[in-house]
Amino acid sequence: MQTFQRARSAEQREARRETILGTAHQMLTEMPVSQVTMNGLARRVGLAKSNVMRYFESREAVLLDLLSRMSAEWLVEATAQVEQHLPRDGNASERAHALARIFAALFTEHRVLCDLLSAETSVLEHNVSEEVALRYKRGALAALDGLAALIVDVLPEFDAESGHDAAFTTIVLVGAMWTHSHPSAAMAAVYRDEPALATVEGFTESLGHMVCTYLTGLLAIATDDGPVATKPA
């Protein structure tokens, strides 16, 4: 254990926060969210738990900050992927299929992000102060707005509200599909013995299918009057 030295300057405090966040990320590449503890994190960082808590009030506060950062980074990558690989000359259904494939493949590459999203509302948003919760939710809304704008850019048949609904549903599906595609050891054994009992074949395939189904469903209710209306007038 290192001898704790208080970070005096803003730069030193930020550097220590970065160390804590980076260590938490590394731990999540080795274990699920459920196994990450504040004590374990403190040991990895090389500080007492009380000293880590000078920078983050709880384990959940650490992981929410990490989730915010990773969501923003994912959106940058998704935007680049769409610009590089999604042709805009196809019809709306073809664009929806292509977008769903890009999203599913990219989320699959970001396993830590998916694990955090699967625990967002049921675990990470608990055991935090109102201040932390407010900061996180403002950042999450900004990220959701960015994802919605990307969807509408690819599918201008959607209005802003529909784009936001599609973005929110995509994030919910990521968390749900990640949970269902990573069953407990007992459930995994059951699925191996009786494959017909498994409801999810694989994360990438299931997520792509579900996102595509939702996007094309919105397109199906489009009218000749303009963008999709997802709620009755």
Measured distance CA(170)–CA(203) in Å, rounded? 13
Q: What is the mean pLDDT of residues 146-155?
A: 97
* pTM attached to this predicted model: 0.89
Give the model's pLDDT for residue 179. 93
Q: Which of 139-143, 200-204, 229-233 has the highest mean pLDDT?
A: 139-143
pLDDT bracket for residue 6 (50, 70, 90): low
Q: Does domain 58-220 have CATH number 3.30.1330.10?
A: no
Distance, in Å, from the CA atom of 78 to the CA atom of 100, rounded to the nearest integer, reads 11
Average pLDDT taken over every residue of the chain: 91
- Under the banding of pLDDT at 50, 70 and 90, the label for residue 7 is low
Q: For residue 186, what are its two tokens?
A: 């007992």
CATH 1.10.10.60 fits 1-56, yes or no: yes
Domain boundaries, the chain: 1-56, 58-220
Instruction: Name the nearest CA neighbour of 205 among 114, 100, 115.
Output: 100
Tell the burial category of 231 from Cβ atoms under 10 Å away from its Cβ (0-12, 13-18, 19+): exposed
